């Protein structure tokens, strides 16, 4: 008796595989067993793995009661949960001085940023919390004081660069300048980098202050 050749597995009979995953052909699976890479279908809905979120830079603005310990509670939440603080500013913002606004710059995924917003909002005495990223129209600025110690040609070069960046000399001596510069973080970084070979001696920065564009408020 001539034994017929085994029937090759048909691709259409095989479990479907999500994009980005491959199964070596031909494969057959016993009844009740399924490959780990197949699509899971429940009630007609296909469950797919979500793409990994990328971290984004954000300014978190927090309106708090201006009282002892308010800032410590916010910082304690960040440090206790491992959230990094890249810069921080705080100052009273109402006419009575009873409320302050904290601006914190951090980098995290959108999901983690939402977790931070929800966790900070539960703190006492926090009134309002806003998370501003590149997706939300806002204005963000910081100020820097930059001290340069230089003479001769390097001194002249420092003055030319300062004029190009619209940095104002707020102190000057025979051997040094202190420049005041306000703008976006990238602008301040570029100015400081150009001053390094010319005699950069010291930098003091305020950190970022941010506010939403248009009529939107915190």
**CATH homologous superfamily for the domain 56-135:** ACT domain (3.30.70.260)
* Residue 185 φ/ψ, nearest 5 degrees: -60, -40
Model pTM score: 0.71
What CATH topology corresponds to 139-212?
Alpha-Beta Plaits (3.30.70)
Domain with CATH 3.30.70.1150 in the chain: 139-212
CATH 3.30.70.260 residue window(s) in the chain: 56-135
Please give the pLDDT value at position 49: 37
Q: Read off the pLDDT of residues 25-73 as tens digits, 9 standing for 90 and up.
A: 455 545 555 544 444 444 444 434 345 789 999 999 999 999 999 999 9
Residue 12 is predicted with a pLDDT of 44
pLDDT at 5: 52
Task: Name the strand (E) or helix (H) holding 41.
Answer: strand 40-42
Q: Pick out the chain residues at pLDDT < 70.
A: 1-51
């Amino acid at each position: 008796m001539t034994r017929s050749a085994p029937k090759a597995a048909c691709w259409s009979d095989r479990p479907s595989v999500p994009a980005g995953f491959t199964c070596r052909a031909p494969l057959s699976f016993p009844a009740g067993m399924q490959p780990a890479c197949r699509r899971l279908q429940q009630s007609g809905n296909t469950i797919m793995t979500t793409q990994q979120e990328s971290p984004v830079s954000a300014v978190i603005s927090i309106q708090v009661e201006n009282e002892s310990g308010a800032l410590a509670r916010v910082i304690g939440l960040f440090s206790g949960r491992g959230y990094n603080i890249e810069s921080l500013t705080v100052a009273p913002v109402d006419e009575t001085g009873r409320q302050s606004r904290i601006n914190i710059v951090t980098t995290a995924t959108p999901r983690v940023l939402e977790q931070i917003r929800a966790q900070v909002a539960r703190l006492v005495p926090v009134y309002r919390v806003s998370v501003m990223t590149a997706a939300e129209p806002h204005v963000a600025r910081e100020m820097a004081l930059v001290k340069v110690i230089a003479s001769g040609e390097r001194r002249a070069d420092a003055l030319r660069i300062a004029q190009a960046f619209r940095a104002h000399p707020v102190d000057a001596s025979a051997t040094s300048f202190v420049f005041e510069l306000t703008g976006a973080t990238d602008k301040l970084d570029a100015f400081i980098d150009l001053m390094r070979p010319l005699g950069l001696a010291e930098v003091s920065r305020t950190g970022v202050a941010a506010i939403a564009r248009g009529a939107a408020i915190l």
